[in-house]
């Protein structure tokens, strides 16, 4: 009999998280800045179109050695003013080039990083006020942000709540002191508890914890304690990510060795045991890596079939346009991706010269658009109808998953079974024609489990 451990061992292979399709390593048809602006204009031309906005704040005071995000580490808060000025100038450049950006309904706003609460109260207020007064904000907006509990003040959260923010995501990762020491993130339980309580008292209606399994020196016992402490605070959502060990990309991960990391079987057990604890505590599994209480809007969206996935992860709203501002930020017009320069000084130089900070992107062709829609459907609902022209090929590719009863077929309808949900990323690879034609030349994806 095939056990859960056997299945996880079999399917624990490198696989994308599918916040986009094609995934970034397969971007090839780069748009010029003018081509990108034309895509934005076309996408926002209908009067009923809507907009999501992502602002990237890259700054952190200290480096977390596990982190794979685009960050700028400095304790010098003098970097705030010029960076905010660049954000506002970039936004103004967009509004001048595409006036519809200020006219269409803004449904979503997310502050990511880095650590958005690196900014002072004054600068948070100035940035949001300057930008939002030029936008058509929805009567029911979904505004969210990521915070580092070690660097977040109640006064900052009150200002954000006044601007309409109701969802907050706390970077937690692990509660074990030794694990925290190795990842250079000392964050006592009481610190996380305080920000959780403060957020709820202020009026944030959804609190998320980011947790990671597979970190150095994590054991089954320490992971259980982390989950138990998490359940004590009962966040509305939990993002439970596999640690992606990519020291060839992120040099800080060389601060510990692979010998410090849980082995393959050990890491898989961390995941499986934690997942069972979440489910037993009343959380629903949502797509890839996410769990939510039934009362949270993410569970409601999953139940209603309105869940969406983009570069901000799983969201409850679908908009025509995702506009990303700031260093390394990615924008998405559905038929085209656009990414800004990834180095702060280069990004700011472009903006100071009154240019857009275009680094790269991808213009989706007809096949890309078809596969993107299929992967999005599967990753948000757990099922998808596969077109006849690729049906036989996809069935053959996923035959092993069917044999292991992780998926089932009803005609051309592909569905995950209940035990197949942890293997959603694997199922999506069956629809990823670019990945299947050519494996990446270097190690770019984390493992599926």
Please determine, for residue 192, whether its predicted confidence score (pLDDT) is greater than 70: yes
- The pLDDT of residue 387 is 97
pTM above 0.85, yes or no: yes
Tell me whether residue 4 is annotated as binding: no
248 and 442 Cβ atoms separated by less than 8 Å? yes
**Of 363, 387, 406, which residue constitutes the final position of a domain?**
363
Q: Which residue has better confidence, 129 or 8? A: 129
Q: By mean pLDDT, which of 114-118, 138-142, 267-271 is the weakest? A: 267-271
Tell me whether residue 283 is annotated as binding: no
pLDDT in tens, 237-291: 999 998 876 554 555 555 667 788 888 788 889 999 999 999 999 999 999 899 9
Query: Which ranges constitute the DSSP H helices of 234-339?
Result: 264-280, 297-304
- Asked whether residue 342 falls in the same domain as residue 239, the answer is yes
> Average pLDDT in the 182-204 region?
97
Tell me whether residue 244 is annotated as binding: yes
Please work out, in degrees rounded to the nearest 5, the angle formed at the alpha carbon of residue 16 by the alpha carbons of 41 and 433: 75
3-state secondary structure the chain: CCCHHHHHHHHCCECCCCCCCCCHHHCCCCCCHHHHHHHHHHHHCCCCCEEEEEEEECEECCCCCCCCCCCEECCCHHHHHHHHHHHHHHHHHHHHHCCHHHHCEEEEEEEEECCHHHCCHHHHHHHHHHHHCCCEEEEEEEEEEEECHHHCCHHHHHHHHHCCEEEEEEEEECCCHHHHHHCCCCCCHHHHHHHHHHHHHHCCCEEEEEEEECCCCCCHHHHHHHHHHHHHHCCCEEEEEECCCCCCCCHHHHHCCHHHCCCHHHHHHHHHHHHHHHHHCCEEEECCCEEEECCCHHHHHHHHCCCEEECCEEECCCCCEEEEECCCCEEECCCEEEEECCCHHHHHHHHHCCCCCEEEEEECCHHHHHHHHHHHHHHHHCEEECCHHHHHHHHHHCHHHHHCCCEEEECCEEEECHHHHHHHHHHHHCCCHHHHHCCCCCCCCCECC
Please determine, for residue 353, whether its predicted confidence score (pLDDT) is greater than 70: yes
> Average pLDDT in the 381-410 region?
97
Of the chain, the end-to-end C-alpha distance in Å amounts to 21
11 pLDDT band, cuts 50/70/90, is confident
- Asked whether residue 273 falls in the same domain as residue 296, the answer is yes
Tell me whether residue 66 is annotated as binding: yes
- Asked whether residue 276 falls in the same domain as residue 404, the answer is no
Tell me whether residue 305 is annotated as binding: no
- Asked whether residue 19 falls in the same domain as residue 57, the answer is no
Q: Give me the residues paired with residue 413 across strands.
A: 385, 410
Give the CATH number of the domain where residue 384 resides. Answer: 1.10.10.920
- Asked whether residue 332 falls in the same domain as residue 398, the answer is no
- The pLDDT of residue 263 is 82
- The pLDDT of residue 445 is 54
- Tell me the C-alpha distance between 177 and 196, whole Å: 19
- Tell me the C-alpha distance between 25 and 27, whole Å: 6
- Tell me the C-alpha distance between 301 and 356, whole Å: 35
**Of 306, 333, 363, which residue constitutes the final position of a domain?**
363
**Pairing state of beta strands 336-340 and 330-332?**
antiparallel
- Asked whether residue 149 falls in the same domain as residue 204, the answer is yes
Tell me whether residue 38 is annotated as binding: no
**Of 321, 342, 363, which residue constitutes the final position of a domain?**
363
Tell me whether residue 330 is annotated as binding: yes
pLDDT in tens, 144-159: 999 999 999 999 999 9
Tell me whether residue 185 is annotated as binding: yes
Could you give the maximum distance between any two Cα atoms of the chain, in Å? 65
> Average pLDDT in the 101-105 region?
98
* Residue percentage of the chain with pLDDT more than 90: 83
Give the CATH number of the domain where residue 212 resides. Answer: 3.80.30.20
Tell me whether residue 64 is annotated as binding: yes
**DSSP string for residues in 139-156:** EEEEEEEEE-GGG--HHH
- Asked whether residue 277 falls in the same domain as residue 350, the answer is yes
- pLDDT mean across residues, the chain: 93
> Average pLDDT in the 426-441 region?
87
- Asked whether residue 296 falls in the same domain as residue 348, the answer is yes
What the block records as the tokens of 211 is 């947790």
Please determine, for residue 442, whether its predicted confidence score (pLDDT) is greater than 70: no
pLDDT in tens, 32-86: 999 999 999 999 999 999 999 999 999 999 999 888 788 999 999 999 999 999 9
- The pLDDT of residue 248 is 47
Nearest alpha-carbon partner for 331 in 17, 52, 106 = 52
What the block records as the tokens of 378 is 């599967």
Please determine, for residue 443, whether its predicted confidence score (pLDDT) is greater than 60: no
pLDDT in tens, 194-222: 999 999 999 999 999 999 999 999 999 99
- The pLDDT of residue 250 is 52
- Asked whether residue 103 falls in the same domain as residue 179, the answer is yes
- Asked whether residue 333 falls in the same domain as residue 349, the answer is yes
- Asked whether residue 93 falls in the same domain as residue 163, the answer is yes
Provide the domain count of the chain.
2
- The pLDDT of residue 252 is 53
Please determine, for residue 235, whether its predicted confidence score (pLDDT) is greater than 80: yes
- Asked whether residue 358 falls in the same domain as residue 377, the answer is no
Please determine, for residue 224, whether its predicted confidence score (pLDDT) is greater than 90: yes
Domain extent, residue 148, equals: 30-363
Tell me whether residue 146 is annotated as binding: yes
pLDDT in tens, 366-375: 999 999 999 9
């Amino acid at each position: 009999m095939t056990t859960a451990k056997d299945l996880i061992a079999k399917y624990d292979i490198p696989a994308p998280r599918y916040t986009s399709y094609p995934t970034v390593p397969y971007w090839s048809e780069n748009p010029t800045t003018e081509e990108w602006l034309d895509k934005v204009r076309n996408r926002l031309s209908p009067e009923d179109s809507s907009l999501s906005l992502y602002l990237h704040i890259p700054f952190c005071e200290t480096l977390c050695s596990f982190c794979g995000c685009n960050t700028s580490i400095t304790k010098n808060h003098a970097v705030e003013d010029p960076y905010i000025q660049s954000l506002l100038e970039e936004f103004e450049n967009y509004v001048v080039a595409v006036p519809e950006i200020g006219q269409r309904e803004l449904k979503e706003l997310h502050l990511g990083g880095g650590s958005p609460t690196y900014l002072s109260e004054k600068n948070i207020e100035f940035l949001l006020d300057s930008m939002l007064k030029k936008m058509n904000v929805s009567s029911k907006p979904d505004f969210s942000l990521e915070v580092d509990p070690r660097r977040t003040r109640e006064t900052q959260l009150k200002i954000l709540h006044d601007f309409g923010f109701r969802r907050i995501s706390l970077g937690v990762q692990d509660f074990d002191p030794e694990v925290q020491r190795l990842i250079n993130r000392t964050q006592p339980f009481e610190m996380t508890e305080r920000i959780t309580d403060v957020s709820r008292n202020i009026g944030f209606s959804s609190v998320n914890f980011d947790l990671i399994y597979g970190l150095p020196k994590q054991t089954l016992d320490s992971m259980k304690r982390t989950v138990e402490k998490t359940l004590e605070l009962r966040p509305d959502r939990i993002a439970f990510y596999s640690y992606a060990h990519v020291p060839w990309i992120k040099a800080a991960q060389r601060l510990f060795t692979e010998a410090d990391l849980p082995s393959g079987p050990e890491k898989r057990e961390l995941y499986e045991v934690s997942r069972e604890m979440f489910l037993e505590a009343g959380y629903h599994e949502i797509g890839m890596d996410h769990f939510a209480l039934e009362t949270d809007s993410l569970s409601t969206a999953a139940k209603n079939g309105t869940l969406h996935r983009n570069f901000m992860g799983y969201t409850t709203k679908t908009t025509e346009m995702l506009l990303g501002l700031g260093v390394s930020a990615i924008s998405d017009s559905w038929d085209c991706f656009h990414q800004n320069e990834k180095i702060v000084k280069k990004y700011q130089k472009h903006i100071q010269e009154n240019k857009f900070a275009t680094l790269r992107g991808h213009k989706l062709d007809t096949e890309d658009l078809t596969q993107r829609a299929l992967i999005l459907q599967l990753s948000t609902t757990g099922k998808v109808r596969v077109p006849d022209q690729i049906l036989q090929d996809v069935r053959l590719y996923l035959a092993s998953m069917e044999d292991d009863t992780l998926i089932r077929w009803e005609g051309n309808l592909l569905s995950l079974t209940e035990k197949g949900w942890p293997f959603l990323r694997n199922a999506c690879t069956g629809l990823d024609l670019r990945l299947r034609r050519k494996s990446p030349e270097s190690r770019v994806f984390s493992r599926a489990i």
